[in-house]
Protein backbone atom coordinates (compact mmCIF):
# COMPACT_ATOMS: atom_id res chain seq x y z
CA UNK A 1 0.00 0.00 0.00
CA UNK A 2 2.84 2.39 0.84
CA UNK A 3 4.50 1.68 -2.54
CA UNK A 4 1.24 2.35 -4.43
CA UNK A 5 0.89 5.65 -2.58
CA UNK A 6 4.48 6.62 -3.41
CA UNK A 7 4.02 5.68 -7.06
CA UNK A 8 0.78 7.69 -7.16
CA UNK A 9 2.53 10.73 -5.66
CA UNK A 10 5.40 10.42 -8.17
CA UNK A 11 2.95 10.08 -11.09
CA UNK A 12 0.90 13.05 -9.84
CA UNK A 13 4.05 15.16 -9.48
CA UNK A 14 5.15 14.20 -13.00
CA UNK A 15 1.74 15.18 -14.36
CA UNK A 16 1.92 18.53 -12.58
CA UNK A 17 5.37 19.24 -14.06
CA UNK A 18 4.15 18.18 -17.51
CA UNK A 19 1.10 20.45 -17.36
CA UNK A 20 3.21 23.28 -15.99
CA UNK A 21 5.71 22.89 -18.83
CA UNK A 22 2.90 22.78 -21.41
CA UNK A 23 1.30 25.91 -19.94
CA UNK A 24 4.64 27.73 -20.07
CA UNK A 25 5.17 26.55 -23.64
CA UNK A 26 1.74 27.82 -24.69
CA UNK A 27 2.30 31.16 -22.99
CA UNK A 28 5.75 31.52 -24.52
CA UNK A 29 4.58 30.67 -28.03
CA UNK A 30 1.61 33.04 -27.97
CA UNK A 31 3.37 36.06 -26.46
CA UNK A 32 6.29 37.77 -28.11
CA UNK A 33 7.35 41.12 -26.72
CA UNK A 34 9.62 43.58 -28.48
CA UNK A 35 10.93 47.03 -27.74
CA UNK A 36 12.15 50.01 -29.73
CA UNK A 37 13.39 53.54 -29.21
CA UNK A 38 11.24 55.83 -31.35
CA UNK A 39 13.54 58.81 -30.81
CA UNK A 40 16.31 57.15 -32.82
CA UNK A 41 14.30 57.24 -36.02
CA UNK A 42 11.89 60.11 -35.29
CA UNK A 43 14.69 62.66 -35.54
CA UNK A 44 15.85 61.05 -38.79
CA UNK A 45 12.55 61.49 -40.62
CA UNK A 46 12.64 64.48 -43.01
CA UNK A 47 8.95 65.16 -42.43
CA UNK A 48 9.60 65.33 -38.67
CA UNK A 49 12.27 67.98 -39.25
CA UNK A 50 9.86 69.93 -41.47
CA UNK A 51 7.09 69.67 -38.89
CA UNK A 52 9.48 70.75 -36.13
CA UNK A 53 10.53 73.84 -38.10
CA UNK A 54 6.89 74.69 -38.84
CA UNK A 55 5.96 74.25 -35.21
CA UNK A 56 8.90 76.34 -34.00
CA UNK A 57 7.92 79.14 -36.41
CA UNK A 58 4.29 79.01 -35.27
CA UNK A 59 5.33 78.93 -31.62
CA UNK A 60 7.61 81.93 -32.17
CA UNK A 61 4.76 83.88 -33.76
CA UNK A 62 2.44 83.15 -30.81
CA UNK A 63 5.17 83.99 -28.32
CA UNK A 64 5.85 87.35 -30.03
CA UNK A 65 2.14 88.18 -30.05
CA UNK A 66 1.87 87.47 -26.31
CA UNK A 67 5.05 89.42 -25.51
CA UNK A 68 3.66 92.43 -27.41
CA UNK A 69 0.38 92.23 -25.50
CA UNK A 70 2.21 91.91 -22.18
CA UNK A 71 4.42 94.87 -23.04
CA UNK A 72 1.34 96.97 -23.85
CA UNK A 73 -0.19 96.15 -20.45
CA UNK A 74 3.08 96.95 -18.66
CA UNK A 75 3.52 100.22 -20.57
CA UNK A 76 -0.02 101.29 -19.71
CA UNK A 77 0.53 100.37 -16.04
CA UNK A 78 3.81 102.30 -15.87
CA UNK A 79 2.19 105.31 -17.56
CA UNK A 80 -0.68 105.13 -15.07
CA UNK A 81 1.74 104.98 -12.13
CA UNK A 82 3.75 107.99 -13.37
CA UNK A 83 0.65 110.08 -14.02
CA UNK A 84 -0.81 109.17 -10.63
CA UNK A 85 2.41 110.09 -8.80
CA UNK A 86 2.57 113.39 -10.73
CA UNK A 87 -1.00 114.17 -9.69
CA UNK A 88 -2.19 114.40 -13.29
CA UNK A 89 -5.23 112.15 -12.84
CA UNK A 90 -8.64 113.07 -11.56
CA UNK A 91 -10.43 110.32 -9.61
CA UNK A 92 -12.61 109.60 -12.67
CA UNK A 93 -9.59 109.44 -15.03
CA UNK A 94 -7.74 107.21 -12.56
CA UNK A 95 -10.69 104.83 -12.30
CA UNK A 96 -11.00 104.73 -16.10
CA UNK A 97 -7.28 103.92 -16.54
CA UNK A 98 -7.40 101.20 -13.88
CA UNK A 99 -10.37 99.60 -15.65
CA UNK A 100 -8.54 99.80 -19.01
CA UNK A 101 -5.47 98.12 -17.49
CA UNK A 102 -7.60 95.41 -15.88
CA UNK A 103 -9.45 94.80 -19.17
CA UNK A 104 -6.17 94.69 -21.07
CA UNK A 105 -4.74 92.24 -18.50
CA UNK A 106 -7.84 90.02 -18.76
CA UNK A 107 -7.57 90.10 -22.58
CA UNK A 108 -3.91 89.10 -22.27
CA UNK A 109 -4.79 86.14 -20.03
CA UNK A 110 -7.50 85.01 -22.48
CA UNK A 111 -5.02 85.33 -25.33
CA UNK A 112 -2.53 83.17 -23.40
CA UNK A 113 -5.12 80.42 -23.00
CA UNK A 114 -6.19 80.66 -26.65
CA UNK A 115 -2.54 80.62 -27.77
CA UNK A 116 -1.89 77.44 -25.78
CA UNK A 117 -4.92 75.77 -27.36
CA UNK A 118 -3.78 76.95 -30.82
CA UNK A 119 -0.25 75.63 -30.21
CA UNK A 120 -1.58 72.24 -29.08
CA UNK A 121 -3.84 72.06 -32.14
CA UNK A 122 -0.99 73.02 -34.47
CA UNK A 123 1.30 70.41 -32.93
CA UNK A 124 -1.31 67.70 -33.43
CA UNK A 125 -1.95 68.88 -36.99
CA UNK A 126 1.75 68.74 -37.87
CA UNK A 127 2.66 65.51 -36.09
CA UNK A 128 -0.40 63.31 -36.59
CA UNK A 129 0.50 62.22 -40.16
CA UNK A 130 4.01 61.34 -38.98
CA UNK A 131 2.76 59.42 -35.97
CA UNK A 132 0.32 57.56 -38.23
CA UNK A 133 3.15 56.63 -40.63
CA UNK A 134 5.28 55.36 -37.73
CA UNK A 135 2.35 53.41 -36.28
CA UNK A 136 1.71 51.77 -39.65
CA UNK A 137 5.39 50.76 -39.94
CA UNK A 138 5.32 49.48 -36.36
CA UNK A 139 2.13 47.47 -36.98
CA UNK A 140 3.66 45.93 -40.11
CA UNK A 141 6.86 44.95 -38.26
CA UNK A 142 4.82 43.51 -35.40
CA UNK A 143 2.66 41.41 -37.74
CA UNK A 144 5.59 40.25 -39.89
CA UNK A 145 7.58 39.18 -36.81
CA UNK A 146 4.66 37.87 -34.69
CA UNK A 147 5.04 40.37 -31.83
CA UNK A 148 2.12 40.58 -29.42
CA UNK A 149 3.41 43.63 -27.55
CA UNK A 150 5.98 46.32 -28.28
CA UNK A 151 7.25 48.88 -25.81
CA UNK A 152 8.89 52.21 -26.59
CA UNK A 153 12.02 52.48 -24.43
CA UNK A 154 12.30 56.21 -25.12
CA UNK A 155 9.32 56.68 -22.80
CA UNK A 156 11.25 55.09 -19.96
CA UNK A 157 8.68 52.52 -18.84
CA UNK A 158 10.56 49.30 -19.55
CA UNK A 159 12.17 47.75 -16.49
CA UNK A 160 14.06 45.09 -18.39
CA UNK A 161 14.85 44.67 -22.04
CA UNK A 162 16.54 41.85 -23.85
CA UNK A 163 18.63 43.37 -26.67
CA UNK A 164 17.47 40.60 -29.00
CA UNK A 165 13.93 42.00 -28.78
CA UNK A 166 14.94 45.44 -30.10
CA UNK A 167 12.92 46.06 -33.25
CA UNK A 168 14.18 49.62 -33.79
CA UNK A 169 16.28 48.57 -36.83
CA UNK A 170 13.25 46.83 -38.39
CA UNK A 171 11.03 49.90 -37.97
CA UNK A 172 13.83 52.18 -39.26
CA UNK A 173 14.08 49.96 -42.34
CA UNK A 174 10.28 50.02 -42.81
CA UNK A 175 10.45 53.82 -42.73
CA UNK A 176 13.27 53.81 -45.27
CA UNK A 177 15.86 55.20 -42.86
CA UNK A 178 19.49 54.14 -42.81
CA UNK A 179 20.70 52.05 -39.90
CA UNK A 180 21.72 54.18 -36.96
CA UNK A 181 25.27 54.23 -35.72
CA UNK A 182 25.62 52.31 -32.48
CA UNK A 183 22.88 50.71 -30.47
CA UNK A 184 19.48 52.30 -31.00
CA UNK A 185 17.96 51.57 -27.64
CA UNK A 186 19.39 54.14 -25.27
Q: Are 41 and 173 in contact, with CB atoms under 8 Å apart? A: no
Residue 104 falls inside a structural domain: yes
**In-domain check, residue 75:** yes
User: Range of 71's domain?
Assistant: 31-174
Least confident of 16-25, 70-79, 109-118, 166-175: 16-25
pLDDT tens by residue, 58-115? 999 999 999 999 999 999 999 999 999 999 999 999 999 999 999 999 999 999 999 9
Any domain includes 181: no
- Per-residue pLDDT, 162: 66
Q: How many residues does the chain have?
A: 186
Asked if residue 1 belongs to a domain, the reply is: no
Q: Comparing 156 with 170, which gets the higher pLDDT?
A: 170
Q: Is residue 36 part of a domain?
A: yes
User: What CATH code is carried by the domain that includes residue 133?
Assistant: 3.30.910.20
Count: domains in the chain: 1
The DSSP bridge pattern shows strands 149-152 and 33-36 to be parallel
Q: Look at residue 154 and tell me if it is in a domain.
A: yes
- Over residues 158-166, mean pLDDT: 66
pLDDT confidence of 170, banded at 50, 70, 90? confident
Q: What's the rounded Cα separation, in Å, for the pair 169 and 175? A: 10
Cβ within 8 Å of residue 38, ≥6 positions away: 134, 152, 154
35 lies in some domain: yes
Nearest to 53 by CA among 154, 132, 115, 127: 127
Model pTM score: 0.65
Q: How far apart are CA 54 and CA 89, in angstroms?
A: 47
155 near 73, Cβ under 8 Å? no
70 falls within a domain: yes
Amino acid sequence: MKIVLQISIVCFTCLLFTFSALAQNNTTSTSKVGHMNSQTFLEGLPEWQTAKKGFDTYMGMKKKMLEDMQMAVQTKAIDYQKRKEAGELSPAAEQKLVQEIQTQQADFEKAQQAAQADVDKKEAELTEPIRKKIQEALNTVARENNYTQIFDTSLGYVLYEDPTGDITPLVRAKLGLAASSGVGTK
